[in-house]
Amino acid sequence: MKREYRITPPGQQPPTDADLARYRDAKRLVHAYEKAVRRPRRPLYRDPKAFLALLLIVLLAWLLSGEHRRAEQRGDEMPDSVEQEAP
Amino acid sequence: MNSEEEQRWLLAARSAPQHFAPLYERYFGDIFRFILRRAQDRDLTADLTQQTFLKAMLGLPRYEPRGLPFRAWLYRIALNELRMFWRKRREVRIDLAHAEARLLSEEIGVAEDDGSLKRLAAALSRLDEDRSRLIELRYMDGLSFAELGQVLGIGEDAAKMRTHRALGQLRTYLSPGP
């Protein structure tokens, strides 16, 4: 990464104490800190949206596993029928 | 705020985040100016400054004073925030105030007129990143060698020696050719 240094133009003043005071906000900082460390209030199973999403995932997994099992059963039966038809 | 007072506030802030406020008030200006000269935009600087202090609060349990001022640790966090901000950029622009440029030109022993200061800025741009960062932290941000070492993760003596070498290279760039 290239670094380019520039002498600040004379008209461009550094921030004054009043400028800094406008941006300084200790309460906002403490609020952000509390938000960052706070644990989620509701557990996943009590959140309706999260619960529904979880239910859908479980249902989908159950359907897929059922379909997979049926496909395996069909696969086991297939070689015998092929042998019978061969001669 | 003296060193002992600072340690007391640090201990208090570890147990209750509300006690971090005096440290925030004390160092907000330093960190804001540090970021502003590298990010230029004031609103963006305010966001990065807020992020720096938030990370400092979250990392306070891991902070070890080692007899150095707390602000050196804050500069280190601010520098990491800036690195993340710069990650997708090809070029970084850093503002050098007239007063700081004069201080640096005095140290190097070159004239302090506008033309010389511009040449100094161009010479600084030619230094590699590590060396230019040493010069920035020492002559623009006013850090001591011990603080410089803490920010860059090197010893105080190494910081002194590397700064000396960086100044030497700057002098070479600024010296008139044969």
B120 contacts: CB under 8 Å, gap ≥ 6:
B101, B104, B105, B108, B110, B170, B174
Q: Which span out of A19-28, A55-64, A72-81, B132-141 was modeled with the highest average pLDDT?
A: A55-64
The residue among B19, B23, B32, B52 with the most chain A CBs within 10 A of its CB, best to mutate, is B32
pLDDT confidence band for B12 (50 / 70 / 90)? confident
Hey, are the CB atoms on B125 and A5 less than 8 Å from each other? yes
**Backbone phi, psi, residue A40, to 5°:** -60, 135
**Backbone phi, psi, residue A3, to 5°:** -110, 130
Hey, are the CB atoms on B42 and A23 less than 8 Å from each other? yes
The pairs formed by B105-108 with CB atoms below 8 angstroms and a separation of 24 or more are: B107/B139, B107/B167, B108/B167, B108/B170, B108/B171, B108/B174
Q: Could you give the CA distance from residue B164 to residue B87 in angstroms, rounded to a whole number? A: 29
What local confidence, expressed as pLDDT, does residue B106 receive?
87
Q: How far is B34 from chain A (nearest CA, A)?
A: 11
Q: Could you give the CA distance from residue B176 to residue B178 in angstroms, rounded to a whole number? A: 7
Instruction: Please tell me if residue A49 touches chain B, with a CB cutoff of 8 Å.
Output: no
In this structure, are residues B162 and B130 in contact, taking their beta carbons and an 8 Å threshold? yes
Is the pLDDT assigned to residue A87 strictly greater than 60?
no
Residue of B nearest to A23 (CA): B46
The mean pLDDT of B126-134, rounded to a whole number, is: 90
pLDDT one-digit tens code per residue, B29-53:
999 999 998 888 899 999 999 999 9
